[in-house]
Chains A and B, each alone.
Chain A
Amino acid sequence: MSHTESQTSRPPGEVSEIETDVLIVGAGPCGLFATFELGMLGMRCDVVDVLDRPGGQCAELYPEKPIYDIPALPDCSGEQLIDNLLLQARPFEPRFHFGLMVEALNRMDDGRWRVRTNDGQCFIAGAVVIAAGSGCFSPRKLPAAGAEMHEGEGLLYAVRERERLRGKHLVVVGGGDSALDWALNLHDIAERLTLVHRRDRFRAAPDTVNKVRALIDTGAMDFRAGAVAELVDDSGQLSGVRLQGGDQVVCDHVLAFFGLSARLGPLTSFGLDMHGDHIRVDTERFATSLDGVYAIGDVCWYPGKLRLILSGFHEAALMAHDVKRRLHPDIRHVFEHSTTAMKEHLGPR
């Protein structure tokens, strides 16, 4: 599905500012539905997410798993849900900014918020909505001795420059789609590629698994069942891995794919009133302890909170109405059902 996207790439150090009505932190189901609710009330949204695509947990953890508790959708996959939410929000043209993590939140003299991200991109927004779920996803680290020391050079958790791996001995660790996709993608250019996984069964797409099996069967790729115990070092450079059990595999790079883990990260330093790992909100407006900052979805907490997608949708609607009152206090606030409100966006049916 296509969606408006701005990938920010500026010279380092240069600060760019985007003004918007509402900045939404998190492009999971609740963040996406918030763009619809806010859009229907006439507000413009920008959305940032640390991942490189929309969907949050639905896209990262369970794109193909069925979800059964979305009202009026007896059965849909995480991916279908996200595609539909993007489609629903499209009339309001939310602007997406992927690969960005919010680092700082500062209140300006005029009551708006200035939000800074990790690459320097700044947003000025009348309201900020935190829909960050369980937090920022980052790769799970290889639990092996010496891993920290080689991270970024010998040990990689993502492939940014494929050409750097040409002609190298590679070890790919993991048994899911990422590990197998990269094993297929890199085995052509690698001098030798060894796939290491804890068992002789892979949980990737059947077609991918078949291709990898064929390469292993013909000897074009090596497979070792087990786990990496230690990264072997030769005067500061990675020279191989030692597997549990003692065997060594010579390599120049290890690529580890154990999926993602969520951490709240910088959100905890914004001065928000927290309840454990969650942001405390009121259940009338979904406002946090900071004036003009809201929290919805899995990240928020109130008595009786259920971490359901449908609860996040309800929270988005109430939040949107309060944001409208905040940004347009002079306009008499009239409630409209979507049948009426959407007419000017979609035309009469």
Chain B
Amino acid sequence: MQITVIDRQNQSHELVVEPGTRSNLMMMMVDAGLPVRAECGGSCVCATCHVYVRQAPAGALSELGEDEEDALDLAFEPGPDSRLACQIPITDACDGLKVELAPEWP
């Protein structure tokens, strides 16, 4: 299964995910050494794992929850495709997911 992350220099990174992995996209990106601050460690409050979804296979993403929508208020330049990576659980349906890291707060 493959997930693509585009970094802030427009470089593409393929995250290869072993089947059966139980994690979330934020953790996967941190583990891959991508520059994600994840200040709150996945508590859905800091919005520093903000990504823009560029391609989402059917079923890859859950509905945007109220918590996540609230936290997105603190994201840098949120848009209609904004999600928090810590709120995207890795499932088999994520194969082919493509996201772009949002800019960091200055």
Contact = CB atoms under 8 A, between A and B. Distances in A.
A175 B56 CA distance: 29
A146 to B, nearest CB: 13
B41 A198 contact: no
Contacts of A307: 41
A262 B39 contact: yes
B76 to A, nearest CB: 6
B76 A57 contact: no
Contacts of A65: 43, 45
B40 interface: yes
B73 A198 contact: yes
Contacts of B39: 57, 61, 134, 261-262
A203 interface: yes
A262 B74 CA distance: 13
A202 B35 CA distance: 30
Interface of A: 57, 61-62, 65, 134, 140-141, 143, 174-176, 197-199, 201, 203, 227, 258-259, 261-262, 307
Given A143-B77, A176-B73, A61 B106 contact: no
Interface residues of B, number: 16
Interface string B68-88: 011001101110000000000
Contacts of B46: 61, 259, 261
Nearest to B46: A61
B40 A203 contact: no
Nearest to B41: A307
A62 B40 contact: yes
Contacts of A141: 105-106
A134 B43 CA distance: 14
B45 A61 contact: yes
A174 B74 CA distance: 9
Contacts of B76: 140, 143
Contacts of A140: 74, 76, 105
Contacts of B43: 61-62, 65
Interface of B: 39-41, 43, 45-46, 48, 69-70, 73-74, 76-78, 105-106
A47 to B, nearest CB: 22
A227 B46 CA distance: 19
A261 B40 contact: no
A150 B7 CA distance: 31
27 contacts: A61-B40, A61-B43, A61-B45, A62-B40, A62-B43, A62-B45, A65-B43, A65-B45, A140-B76, A140-B105, A141-B105, A141-B106, A143-B77, A143-B105, A143-B106, A174-B73, A175-B73, A176-B73, A176-B74, A198-B73, A199-B69, A199-B73, A227-B77, A261-B39, A261-B48, A261-B105, A307-B41
Nearest to A137: B39
A61 to B, nearest CB: 5
A57 B39 CA distance: 9
A198 B45 contact: no
Q: Which of A65, A140, A175 has the most CB of B within 10 A?
A: A140
Given A62-B40, A134-B39, A259 B106 contact: no
Given A141-B105, A143-B76, A261-B105, A57 B70 contact: no
Contact of A258 (B69, B70, B74): B74
Contact of A198 (B40, B48, B78, B106): B78
